[in-house]
A = this chain, B = another copy of it.
Amino acid sequence: MGDRRRTAASVPDLVSRAREGDPRAVARLISLVEDASPLLREVMAQLAPHTGHAQIVGITGSPGVGKSTSTNALVAELRRAGKRVGVLAVDPSSPFSGGALLGDRIRMQDHALDRDVYIRSMASRGHLGGLAWSTPQALRVLDAAGCDVVLVETVGVGQSEVEIASLADTTLVLLAPGMGDGIQAAKAGILEIGDLYVINKADREGADQVRRDLRSMLALTERREGAWKPPILKTVAARGEGLDEVVAGIDQHFAHLQHSGELVRRRTRRARGEVEAIALTALRERWGDVGGRSELDDLAAAVATGETDPYAAADDLLDRL
C-alpha cells in the first residue's frame, strides 16, 4: 500500500499490463476496487472497451456441499479445455463475522503457478454499497484481463446467493446428499436462481434421492415457453468426476443465453445495479460530507424533534441536489 506504490504505476500502465495478463497488475486493480479508490473512475473508463468477453459463472450452495473442491475441479477442467480462468471468492463480511473464512482457499494453490488462472478472494470491507458495488467492478477487471470464464464463489450463505445469481451469466447451485438441508435450502429459494444444479459427492448414499426430490420440485416451477430447463448433473469433485459434463452444461447454457437474447438482458440488469450503486454512493457522499454539519444532519435533527416529517425532509434533500 502507501503512496509510493500508488504513484509507481500509472492507470494506463496498470490497465495495459492487466490486459496482457500480468497477475500483479490485476491484483493491484482489484485492490483499488476493494479500497474504493478515487482512481477507479479512470480505471473503469479505460477497461470498458475491453469488457464483455468473459462468461461469468456463479457458484453457490450451503456450507458443506463442497464448493471450494468443486471450484477447484472446475478450474482444472476449464484449463484442460484451454480456457483462461478467473476465480473471485466473495466474502460478504458481515459486521459480525468481520473477516475472511478462506482456509479452503489453500487448495486453490494447485493452480497458483498457472499463469492462465487468476484467483482472488475479496471482502466488501463494509464500505457504502458493499458487494453490489465492488463485485461487478472486480469482474470487469478480470474480464478485461482476458479471462474466458470467471467463477464467482460465495463464502457466505443466504442473501448473498441471490446477489451472486444477479451478477452471473450462469448460476451453478451445488447440493450434496446427506446434508439434510440440501433440499430444505432448495425449497427455500434456490429453485429460482439455478441455471445448472450439481449434486456433488454423488458417490454417497442418497444422491439419487436428492436428484429425484429436486427434479420433482423443479417440475413444479413455472417456466416460460422456450425457457431454459436447468439440468441436474452429478459430480464427485474430490476425484474430478463429472466436471466435463458441468463444463458442457455451462457452454450449452451460455449458447442458450446468446440465442435467446437473455444474455443482453442479464448483463444490462447487472450494469443497471452497478450504475445505481455508484450513483447512490455519490449522492450519499454529497449529502453526508459537506464540511462539518451536513444538510442531511440538519434535516434529520428537524425530524427527530417532530418539527418536520421524514417525507418532507426527503423532498427537501432531493430539492437541494
Residues of chain A touching chain B, judged by Cβ–Cβ distance below 8 Å, are: 40-41, 44-45, 47-52, 94-98, 136-137, 158-159, 161-162, 185, 188-189, 264, 267-272, 274-276, 278-280, 282-284, 287, 296-297, 299-301, 303-314, 317-318, 321
Q: Is the CB of A278 within 8 A of B98?
A: no
A104 to B97, CA, bound (A): 28
21 contacts between A and B (CB under 8 A): A45-B309, A45-B311, A47-B309, A48-B307, A48-B308, A95-B159, A96-B158, A96-B162, A96-B185, A136-B310, A268-B297, A268-B301, A271-B303, A274-B300, A275-B296, A276-B287, A278-B310, A278-B311, A278-B313, A280-B280, A280-B283
List, in ascending order, chain B residues with CB within 8 A of A44's CB: 309-311
Which of A48, A159, A297 has the most chain B CB within a 10 Å cutoff?
A48
Which of A50, A161, A299, A311 has the most chain B CB within a 10 Å cutoff?
A311
Given A41-B311, A188-B96, A189-B96, verify A300-B275 contact (CB < 8 Å).
yes
A318 to B278, CA, bound (A): 10
List, in ascending order, chain B residues with CB within 8 A of A188's CB: 96-98
Q: Is the CB of B98 within 8 A of A314?
A: no
Write the nearest CB–CB distance from A154 to chain B, whole angstroms: 13
Chain A: interface secondary structure?
Answer: helix
Q: Is the CB of B304 within 8 A of A270?
A: yes
Q: In chain B, what residue has the closest Cβ to A161?
A: B96
Q: In chain B, what residue has the closest Cβ to A157?
A: B96
Write the nearest CB–CB distance from A319 to chain B, whole angstroms: 10
List, in ascending order, chain B residues with CB within 8 A of A310's CB: 44, 136-137, 271, 274-275, 278
Q: Is the CB of A300 within 8 A of B268?
A: yes
Q: Is the CB of B300 within 8 A of A189?
A: no
Q: Is the CB of A282 within 8 A of B314?
A: yes
Which of A44, A50, A269, A307 has the most chain B CB within a 10 Å cutoff?
A44
List, in ascending order, chain B residues with CB within 8 A of A311's CB: 40-41, 44-45, 278
Q: In chain B, what residue has the closest Cβ to A189?
A: B96
Q: Is the CB of B48 within 8 A of A95?
A: no
Q: Is the CB of A271 within 8 A of B304?
A: yes
A309 to B305, CA, bound (A): 43
Q: In chain B, what residue has the closest Cβ to A305?
A: B52
A321 to B319, CA, bound (A): 10
List, in ascending order, chain B residues with CB within 8 A of A49's CB: 306
